[in-house]
Amino acid sequence: MTVRPLDPRLLRYAVSARWFLLSGAALGVATTACILAFAWLLTVCITGAIDGRPLAELLPQVGLLVAVAGIRAALVYGQDLLAARGAARVKSELRLGVLDAVRRLGPGWLAGRSSARVATLLGRGMDALDDYFSKYLPQLILAVIVTPVVVVVILLQDWVSAIFIVVTLPLIPIFMILIGLATQVVQRRQWAVLGDLSSGFVDTLGGLATLKIFGRERRQIDRMRSITRDYRTQTMRVLRVSFLSSFALELAASLSVALVAVSVGLRLVDGSMALSAGLFVLLLAPEAFLPLRQVGANFHAAAEGVAAAEDAFDILDAVKTTQADAPVPAGERVATSGPLRLTDVSVDYGRGAVLAPISAEFAPGRLTVIAGPSGAGKSSLLGAVLGFAPHTGTVELGGMPVRSSTEERPWLAWTGQRPSLVLGSVADNVALGSDPVDAVRVRHALNLAAAPEISPDLSVGVAGAGLSGGQAQRVGIARAIYRTLDRRCPVLLLDEPSSALDHDTEARLLDGLRALADGGTAVVIVSHRAAVIGRADAVVRVEPMILAAAS
């Protein structure tokens, strides 16, 4: 693991970070001028008082000293304000970028990862960037600007003190690298354990009803206790490293400044150095070490945000490596009507093809079923049409190619095996994404989805709490039907829509889907149930790869 003061991907994925760095550099230059002016004015006032100059004669310098102190305080406030706004903008850009990346990568990519980890990244992880922007980056900017300028000014005043500083100054970056390596290791472990804790908690809640039925709910207490204990242990390790790192950096900087002070003091005693030069150097010496000291001390506070940002960058990088389809040229957009045609479509997730090449046509006004045994690749074929799965071959609508997996599909409505329902009413879930909500169309969609008994005003909890499995499934189907009616989508895709339904309800659902097909919609259903296949106008058979290769 390498230690990088600033990940260049931050500038690539968050444009606001560039504005933050430029503004921070301007404030850093102004802060450097204030440091030099303050040290010089304070030296003038102290040496003048020692020389016996009257107060009236020193008042202009005292007034300037107070003014410079006020300006520096204002700059500190401006830096804090800049950090807060910069962090908010960057977090917003990264969150939106990661959400868009997850959408582009699709369910196939997300299925191999924990959705709880992604949620933790977008929540707690992005919030951890506050310390990165408010504590770490401002000091890093000051270290780049203030330290070299102060060292040069000291060199012009006293080359002996400058040599001491130049020799001892590299000790702090060396300590920072060693401490940074240790901090990143323990912080990465803490971040991983936090992800395990989030995933475990979500999994436990999701399966709590099943665990309760089989009397195994109490076993999860020990599991959650163990993960929580690991997280507490890793957190204490981070704190231990943080305190030790702060002590080491303070000790190194203090010893370095002490060497300069001893050298100046000895020369002041023997008269080889003027008081004004010695005092000026002594006032500036701590300022040469302070930014680097603060960078090292604040790195641990930003380490969690750095770890989370790296995960976000990995997701954003994944989009570039997986989305290789060329965009559709202007004037060559996909048609909004006509048959949906697949030609030699095969899905490959990077570990070999999981679906033998399929060629099929789904015509408007027809109910087509994609059938085959479990594991044959039916859902993968659906993912290729949706743009969620990397595939070879061509997908066309109305004779026009659907080229890019990132391209919007306004011509398509679909629902998966597990519809994601949100907190709100049934009507809110059915008309999700539409504004305003058409109450008449909501009721019609529920009727076509064989759910006339479900009230549109019924409150639904997160993930469909308050509904049975079959009811939640039909609400998801009604959502796809509502989109089809509302936006006049020519294609409706359904993945195992009747898996949780009894035979009578399944028959009523098929009646509703037949009505949609008779209205001119190309209804495509992935299913292995005999009742669904029996009502189909056409059946596309998908065989497992081994059987397909054998035939």
Task: Tell me which residue of 307, 314, 6 sits closest to 186, measured CA to CA.
Answer: 307
Q: What is the DSSP string of 375-428?
A: TSSHHHHHHHHHT-S-EEEEEEETTEE---TTS--TTEEEE-SS----SEEHHH
Q: What is the largest CA-CA distance in the chain?
A: 108
Q: Give the pairing of strands 391-397 and 400-401.
A: antiparallel
What domains, with CATH codes, occur in the chain?
A: 8-321 (1.20.1560.10), 340-550 (3.40.50.300)
| CA 7 to chain CA centroid, nearest Å | 15
Residue ranges, the chain, pLDDT below 50: 1-3, 324-335, 547-551
pLDDT, position 177: 63
How far apart are the C-alpha atoms of 376 and 353, rounded to whole Å?
Answer: 11
What's this model's pTM, rounded to 2 decimal places? Answer: 0.61
How far apart are the C-alpha atoms of 421 and 428, rounded to whole Å?
Answer: 9
- Whether 373 contacts 395, CB under 8 Å: no
Please, how many CA atoms are within 13 Å of residue 164, restricted to the half-sphere of its CB?
23
